[in-house]
Amino acid sequence: MALDAGTGKLRWYFQTVHHDLWDYDPPAQPVLVNVRRAGREIPAVALVTKTGFVFVFNRLTGQPLFPIEERPVSQSRIPGEASWPTQPFPVKPPPLARTAITPDDITTVTPESRKYCFEHFASMLPGKLFDPWRLTLTLEVPGTLGGANWHGASFDPSSGYLFVNVSELGSVGFLKAQPAGSPEAYEWGSPWGSYARFWDDKHYPCQQPPWGTLNAVDLNTGNLAWKVPLGVVDELEAKGVPQTGIYSLGGSLVTAGGLVFIAGTADHRFRAFDSHTGNELWVTKLESNGHANPITYWGEKTKRQFVVIAVSPGGRFNADTSAPTVLAAYALFPKGQLSPAQARLETQPRTIAAGPGSLPPPITPPRAAPSQPVPFSHRTHASAGIKCNDCHRPSEDGEQLSIPDLAQCVTCHGAATKTSSEIQKLAAMARDQQSVSWVRVYQLPSFVSFSHQQHLSARIDCGVCHGAVATEDILRQDKDISMVACTNCHKLRNASTNCGACHNIGY
């Protein structure tokens, strides 16, 4: 659902599952994305789900960006229960996880696993999505930990790819009638306890691999760009059964340099993939499972990029409780050593796709003006003929413009120090060698490189980014300076939209 943050009113909503009998609540946080259609960008929101479906909506209107069909599904056979006759199925993107398992799909990774799975679960087959629980053993595909889960997805705005890791793990159980007068007529369970899984006694899933995958979904087309197994089972690899994939509970991180980092898998591994091809570029062994989403940051002192993952013992997919709890941090390739992704970047600079441009829009509703330590009117100074660069002078390298210091203010005002209480206050502070803690109105994050000199040389008026400052007594942020606003302005002027123009994307 979408709520108006200013009023709390409901803007739109969509129900991804009708009458949820399967624990198919959408646990993943939605991802805000921009989707390109017919040469224009649409503000969208993508939701990944336990069913393996990906829902994509216009985030302003709630309109699906790909058709969603209401299809008939199996109905409940429990006396007194009426399940919903249809469920929503996105036509695109395709399901990222299996939605059915038949006897032909039963595992062959080892004879022992195949024997166990047939002996215990054959009566449930075939199993499929949205099959209501019965009074006999039933298979739910995907299961409560199958499909995409709490970890959500990551998005690369330059390619339009959404990266989603999914687990291929069904759930099994049945409904058992309770004695008359019980609070509930039926109770859900299984011979293996609550939340039993479709796996053998070694926790190998009972269907053929892959048991976990990493997927790249092109949200501009709705097609699957690539799909690769994610994770290994060391014992099976030693027996000559590689690339099985394995279930996971941690999400991914995509970088501007074309890398997808992910831990999450139940194999104690941390990996990096090529975001364009899905090729595994790097893997390392962790102390335990990294059931978290990685972060990356630029070291101000070291001038190197780091990637960090939280690692801890225990959890749903890890019986080991003796491993240490750590923050595992890695620095990317040292200076002079290129990764495959960076080598490609050097020869094929990645840019934001071309399209119609626009000036930075006003912020609506207007933001509140910060309280400054000394009142200052830009309108009064502009009326006196003072230009922006009279007070905001360039830094030594010419890239940035400064906020005036006290000495500059007092020198300019001179005799006015006797007629204005505020100027007298500034003069007294200057004599005492104090400074004014002005509240900066426009603040860019540290990972953004912005050159005032380049914009002034291109004859970009200050008001394009800062609004009608010359008419304001109290300064507030009037214009949107987000990445979308900046790239749209660059498109309007046929300026570079290369990622490296505004971001240091080296290693």
pLDDT of amino acid 346: 60
Question: What domain count does the chain have?
Answer: 2
Reported as a single tens digit per residue, the pLDDT across 238-270 is 899 999 999 999 999 999 989 999 999 999 999
pLDDT of amino acid 414: 67
- What burial letters (b/e) apply to 441-455, b meaning 16+ CB within 10 Å? beeeeeeeeeebeeb
| % of the chain at pLDDT higher than 70 | 91
Higher pLDDT, 302 or 468: 468
What's the DSSP call for residue 258? S
Reported as a single tens digit per residue, the pLDDT across 21-56 is 999 999 999 999 999 988 889 999 999 999 999 999
- Domain final position from 220, 248, 276: 248
Q: Is residue 273 part of a domain?
A: no
Mean pLDDT over residues 98-109, rounded? Answer: 96
Tell me: pLDDT of 121 over 80: yes
Our measurement of the distance from residue 340's CA atom to the centroid of its chain's CA atoms, rounded to an integer in Å, reads: 24
Q: For residues 361 and 479, give the distance between their C-alpha atoms in angstroms, rounded to a whole number.
A: 6
User: 172: helix, coil or strand?
Assistant: strand
Q: For residues 155 and 351, give the distance between their C-alpha atoms in angstroms, rounded to a whole number.
A: 15
Tell me: pLDDT of 507 over 50: no
- Domain final position from 215, 248, 281: 248
Q: Which of 165, 498, 176, 177 is nearest to 350 (CA)?
A: 498
Reported as a single tens digit per residue, the pLDDT across 314-371 is 766 766 677 888 999 998 666 666 655 556 656 655 556 667 889 999 988 888 888 8
pLDDT of amino acid 345: 54
Order across the sheet with 305-311: list the strands.
295-298, 305-311, 326-331
Mean pLDDT of the chain: 88
Residue 95: give the domain boundaries: 2-248
pLDDT of amino acid 335: 64
Mean pLDDT over residues 271-296, rounded? Answer: 94
Cα angle at 503 between 502 and 507, to 5 degrees? 150
Mean pLDDT over residues 364-381, rounded? Answer: 85
pLDDT of amino acid 340: 56
Reported as a single tens digit per residue, the pLDDT across 482-501 is 888 898 899 888 888 877 77
Q: Is residue 219 part of a domain?
A: yes
pLDDT of amino acid 136: 94
Q: Is residue 392 part of a domain?
A: yes
Q: Is residue 373 part of a domain?
A: no
Beta bridge mates, 126: none
Q: Is residue 288 part of a domain?
A: no
CB 130 within 8 A of CB 87: yes
Angle between helices 406-413 and 421-431 (to 10 degrees): 130
Sign of the alpha-carbon torsion through 99, 105, 109, 114: positive
pLDDT of amino acid 500: 74
Q: Is residue 382 part of a domain?
A: yes
Q: Which of 115, 122, 56 is nearest to 91 (CA)?
A: 56
Q: Is residue 266 part of a domain?
A: no
Residue 457: pLDDT band with limits 50, 70, 90: confident
Strands 196-197 and 212-218: unpaired
| Whether 167 and 24 share a structural domain | yes
Tell me: pLDDT of 410 over 80: no
- Domain final position from 248, 271, 295: 248
Reported as a single tens digit per residue, the pLDDT across 135-154 is 999 999 999 988 999 999 99
Residue whose tokens read 């603040």: 443
Q: Is residue 287 part of a domain?
A: no
What is the radius of gyration, based on Cα positions, of the chain?
A: 29
